[in-house]
C-alpha cells in the first residue's frame, strides 16, 4: 500500500501518477471531512506503527517547509517515488526517496535529485544538475547543465537558469525569471535578467 500524506490538489496529481504506474493500492491520510479523493479512500488517523511490511508513504503537500517538517517527524518510514511514465529520466540520473516527478519532465545524464523534491509538469533538469531535498522545480522551468539548487528552494513557473549557476537553500526564483548569476541562500529573485528583490524569512 502507498499512503499519501495529504488529500488536496497536489495529492490528486500524485494519485493519477501512481495509477499511471499501474499501482492500485493507494490511500490518503488527511483530517478533512471527505472520505475519498479521486475515489481513493481517505483515512483520518494512521500511526506509523500500523504500517505493514512493504507499505510506503508520499508526502502529498506542495509546501516545501511542511514536507521537510513531516519527514523529520516520521523517522524510519519508507518513502515511495511517484514518477509519471511519460518522463524522460536518464539511466545515470538519481531520484531520491519521496520525490514526485510529473508528466513530461526530463532529467538528463548524471543529474542528482534529492529526497521529497517536486519536479513539476514539463520542467527540464539538464546534465550534472544537483537539486537539494525539499526543492520544487515548477512547471516549464528549465535548468541548464551543472546547476546546483539548494534545499527547499522554489524555482518558479517558466523560470530559466543558465549553465553553471549555484542557487542557495530556501531561495525563491520568481515565475519567468532568467537567472544568469549565482543566488545566495534565502534570496528572492525576479525579472529578466534576474535580480534579488528581497530575502525569505525561513526557519529551516
Q: Among the listed ranges 35-44, 94-103, 110-119, which one has the minimum average pLDDT value? A: 35-44
pLDDT value of residue 88: 98
Query: Is residue 204 in some structural domain?
Result: no
Domain co-membership, 30 together with 110: no
* pTM of this structure: 0.95
Task: For 63-108, write each residue's pLDDT tens digit.
Answer: 999 999 999 988 788 999 999 999 999 999 999 999 999 999 999 9
Dist. CA 82–CA 131, nearest whole Å: 17
Domain co-membership, 67 together with 20: yes
pLDDT bucket at 50, cuts 50 / 70 / 90: low
- Residue 171 CA, distance from chain mean position: 15
pLDDT value of residue 100: 98
pLDDT value of residue 118: 98
Domain co-membership, 191 together with 103: yes
| Owning domain of residue 29 | 2-73
Task: For 143-154, write each residue's pLDDT tens digit.
Answer: 999 999 999 999
Domain co-membership, 59 together with 128: no
Domain co-membership, 46 together with 115: no
Q: Output the nine-digit C-alpha cell for 160.
A: 530559466
Q: Which of 51, 73, 95 is the last residue of a domain?
A: 73
Domain co-membership, 41 together with 88: no
pLDDT value of residue 46: 63
Q: Taking 90 as the threshold, does the pLDDT of residue 185 lie above it?
A: yes
Domain co-membership, 61 together with 102: no
Catalytically annotated residues: 127
Domain co-membership, 107 together with 14: no
* Mean pLDDT of all residues belonging to the chain: 94
Amino acid at each position: 500500500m502507498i499512503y499519501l500524506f495529504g488529500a488536496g490538489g497536489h495529492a490528486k496529481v500524485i494519485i493519477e501518477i501512481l495509477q499511471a504506474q499501474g499501482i492500485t493500492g493507494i490511500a490518503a491520510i488527511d483530517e478533512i471531512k471527505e472520505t475519498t479523493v479521486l475515489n481513493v479512500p481517505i483515512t483520518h488517523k494512521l500511526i506509523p506503527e500500523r504500517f505493514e511490511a512493504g507499505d510506503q508513504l508520499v508526502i502529498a503537500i506542495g509546501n516545501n517547509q511542511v514536507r521537510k517538517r513531516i519527514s523529520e517527524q516520521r523517522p524510519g518510514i519508507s518513502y515511495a517515488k511517484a514518477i509519471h511514465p511519460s518522463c524522460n529520466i536518464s539511466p545515470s540520473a538519481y531520484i531520491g526517496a519521496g520525490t514526485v516527478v510529473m508528466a513530461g519532465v526530463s532529467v538528463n545524464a548524471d543529474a542528482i535529485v534529492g529526497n521529497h523534491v517536486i519536479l513539476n509538469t514539463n520542467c527540464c533538469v539538464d546534465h550534472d544538475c544537483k537539486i537539494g531535498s525539499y526543492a520544487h522545480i515548477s512547471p516549464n522551468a528549465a535548468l541548464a547543465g551543472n546547476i546546483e539548487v539548494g534545499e527547499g528552494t522554489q524555482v518558479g513557473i517558466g523560470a530559466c537558469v543558465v549553465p553553471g549557476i549555484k542557487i542557495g537553500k530556501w531561495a525563491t526564483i520568481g515565475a519567468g525569471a532568467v537567472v544568469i548569476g549565482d543566488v545566495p541562500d534565502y534570496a528572492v529573485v525576479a525579472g529578466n535578467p534576474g535580480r534579488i528583490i528581497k530575502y525569505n524569512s525561513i526557519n529551516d
